[in-house]
Amino acid sequence: MSDHTLPDVLHVVLFADGRSLPGGWVAVHLGTTKKNAHGFLAGPTDIDGRVEVPRHRIEERVEHELTTSPMDYGGLEAWDGLINVEPLTRGSVDKVFDGIRIWDDLGSFETEENLEGFKAFRDNLKRLAGAELTVTAGCEPPDAATITTSVRRA
């Protein structure tokens, strides 16, 4: 059993070349002590580039992975307290669309509306080609997780 407790909410802000990026999406990964890290997409960001991920959303995504691929994941009992948040690039967005085609499953999107927003994000990334994508992230309570972020190119 993990000694860690999921945050009540994960706060994320997405930027392109230092300016907030509305309509964007990020990848969230939960580190684990065994098997594969749990991962899901979070978005779309609001007009200020912000998206909040409540605890129940994290729990739902982990449960979905355990239901669809129980041999691949250790569940929240194996969570090591680390959350990595990274911006999605055009390449990673293309891989998401490949997965949707292969598995015929909306996955993290859950709704067609979110999928349409993700398509618009893909188009926006084309316009932002070469831009530096960065993320800031925190959680409540602040000590609930160790959060890391990444820098990518659109």
Give domain status of residue 137, yes or no. yes
CB 31 within 8 A of CB 79: yes
Number of structural domains found in the chain: 1
Binned at pLDDT 50, 70 and 90, residue 109 comes out as: low
Cα dist from 126 to 5, 8, 35, whole Å: 38, 34, 34
Binned at pLDDT 50, 70 and 90, residue 64 comes out as: confident
Please give the full DSSP string across 39-95, using - where no structure is assigned: EEEE----TTSEEEEEHHHHHHHHHHHHHH-TTTB--GGGEEEEEEEEE--HHHHHH
Give domain status of residue 55, yes or no. yes
Query: Is pLDDT of 120 > 80?
Result: yes
Instruction: Give the residue numbers spanning the domain of 70.
Output: 9-153
Give domain status of residue 22, yes or no. yes
Give domain status of residue 1, yes or no. no
Give domain status of residue 49, yes or no. yes
Binned at pLDDT 50, 70 and 90, residue 110 comes out as: low
Residue with tokens 């749990």: 38
How large is the average pLDDT for residues 57-79? Answer: 88
Give domain status of residue 3, yes or no. no
Give domain status of residue 4, yes or no. no
What is the pTM for the complete model shown? 0.90
Residue with tokens 């129980």: 70
Greater confidence (83 vs 95) lies with 83
CB 22 within 8 A of CB 45: yes
Give domain status of residue 15, yes or no. yes
